[in-house]
């Protein structure tokens, strides 16, 4: 079957063939497709309402989600990796239910194009917060039941892949940036170029605080030693690693509208890799939460404790609370430079500057400067709120 006959919109003939190949449509045909764009910024994602001939089985899905890559190189690579992940999960009979049901996943090595055909869960599920709410910061705290559902989902996912015996056969790298001195040097060069490029722009350099400038310069000087003492030993031994998502914002989850009624799912698997669990946790709990939001009712610590308990309940052994805290600090050290990269790559100040402030606060609260053993100036973070 030719799986990539279209680039703009799917047609009934193509959709009939894909569903038949997936075993969803043994009889009958798709007779019509109504397409509504989702407005996603990182892919071509559409909601499909499907009509069938009278001889189609009643179980044939009436609503689907079709996700295709954009034309940019990064999106082509991301689409390929996401398809690889869904295909991998389809081969694993015991993988936890943490991703939406997938009817088809394919990648064309000639064109680079890829697609996913997923169940449309919009009638029963929704993100705990929208992306706009997340970026707004002030609306970025989901209801407690959704916070717990998300952290439980992450614990189930990480537990399954924790030191997984089949890791070497999985098509995703371990320690994408930190597995070797060469890779970490490439990471530093990329972040340093972003830092210098961002500060070279008058619209940034004219207002960027001088003490923050000193902070980041000292941070760069301390990172090689951090890799040597904290990351290199972990990847040499190769234990206490798990498959991480890499983009675990709350808005990338789908929670049941009736909390607890069905699983919570994690979307946008465009950058899976084996690494420290703290990278996903720091992204989730620190990138868009202020100090006040993290500390309100001891929210951050309680969720980390719940996650750690989830690891233990799902069979992870030999990972203490102190180990988790160290991994979380490593995640903060990694994420503290991400707003710099975001700004350099074209994100507006309204996105990367609040994100930087949130991460600076968490960096200070978790005493990451001591972990780096660098002479970093003390930064409160919230002093710079507009």
Distance CA 264, CA 128 (A): 10
What is the DSSP secondary structure assignment for residue 174, as one 8-state letter?
B
Distance CA 61, CA 382 (A): 49
Share of residues in the chain with pLDDT > 70 (%): 94
Q: Residue 277 has what pLDDT?
A: 98
Q: How big is the CA angle at 365 (ends 250 and 355), to the nearest 5 degrees?
A: 40
**Residues in the chain where the model's pLDDT stays below 50:** 1-2, 5, 384-386
Q: Residue 383 has what pLDDT?
A: 52
Query: How is 261-311 classified by DSSP, letter by letter?
Result: SS--EE---SS-EEE-HHHHHHHHHHSS--HHHHHGGGHHHHHHHHHHHHH
Residue the block writes with tokens 């978790």:
366
Q: Residue 208 has what pLDDT?
A: 97
Q: Residue 385 has what pLDDT?
A: 45
Q: Residue 2 has what pLDDT?
A: 45
Strand ranges of the sheet holding 63-68, from the earlier edge strand across to the other edge: 30-37, 44-52, 63-68, 114-119, 102-107
φ, ψ (nearest 5 deg) of residue 92: -100, 115
Q: What is the pLDDT of residues 356-373, one digit of tens each?
A: 999 999 999 999 999 887
Q: What is the pLDDT of residues 237-251, one digit of tens each?
A: 999 999 999 999 999
Residue 341: Cβ within 10 Å count: 17
Instruction: Please name each of the domains of the chain with its CATH number.
Output: 12-120 (3.30.200.20), 126-384 (3.90.1200.10)
For 191-220, b/e burial (b = at least 16 CB within 10 A) is beebbeebbeeeebeeebeeebeebbebbe
């Amino acid at each position: 079957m030719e799986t990539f006959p279209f680039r703009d919109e799917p047609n009934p003939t193509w959709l009939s063939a894909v569903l038949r190949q997936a075993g969803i449509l043994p009889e009958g045909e798709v007779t019509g497709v109504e397409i509504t764009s989702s407005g996603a910024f990182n892919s071509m994602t559409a909601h499909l309402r499907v009509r069938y001939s009278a001889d189609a089985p009643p179980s044939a899905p009436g609503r689907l989600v079709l996700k295709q890559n954009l034309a940019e190189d990064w999106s082509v690579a991301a689409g390929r990796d996401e398809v690889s992940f869904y295909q991998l999960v389809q081969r694993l009979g015991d993988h936890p239910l943490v991703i939406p049901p997938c009817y088809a996943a394919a990648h064309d090595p000639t064109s680079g194009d890829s697609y996913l055909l997923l169940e449309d869960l919009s009638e029963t599920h929704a993100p705990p917060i929208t992306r706009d709410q997340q970026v707004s910061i002030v609306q970025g705290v989901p209801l407690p039941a959704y916070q717990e559902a998300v952290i439980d989902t992450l614990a189930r996912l990480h537990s399954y892949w924790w030191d997984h015996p089949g890791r070497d056969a999985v098509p995703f790298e371990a320690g994408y940036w930190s597995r070797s001195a060469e890779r970490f040097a490439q990471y530093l060069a990329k972040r340093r170029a972003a830092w210098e490029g961002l500060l070279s722009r008058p619209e940034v350099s004219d207002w960027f605080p001088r003490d923050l400038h000193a902070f980041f310069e000292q941070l760069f000087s301390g990172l090689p030693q951090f890799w040597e003492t904290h990351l290199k030993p972990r990847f040499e031994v190769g234990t206490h690693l798990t498959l991480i998502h890499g983009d675990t914002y709350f808005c990338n989850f789908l929670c049941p509208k009736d909390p607890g009624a069905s699983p919570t799912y994690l979307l946008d698997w465009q950058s899976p890799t084996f690494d420290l669990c703290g990278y996903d946790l720091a992204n989730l709990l620190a990138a868009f939460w202020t100090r006040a939001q993290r500390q309100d009712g001891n929210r951050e610590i309680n969720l980390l404790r719940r996650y750690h308990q989830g690891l233990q309940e799902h069979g992870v052994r030999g990972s203490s609370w102190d180990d988790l805290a160290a991994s979380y600090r490593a995640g903060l050290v990694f994420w503290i430079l991400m707003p710099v990269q975001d700004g350099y790559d074209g994100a507006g100040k309204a996105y990367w500057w609040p994100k930087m402030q949130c991460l600076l606060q968490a960096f200070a609260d978790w005493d990451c400067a001591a972990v780096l053993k660098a002479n970093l100036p003390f930064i409160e973070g919230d002093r710079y709120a507009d």
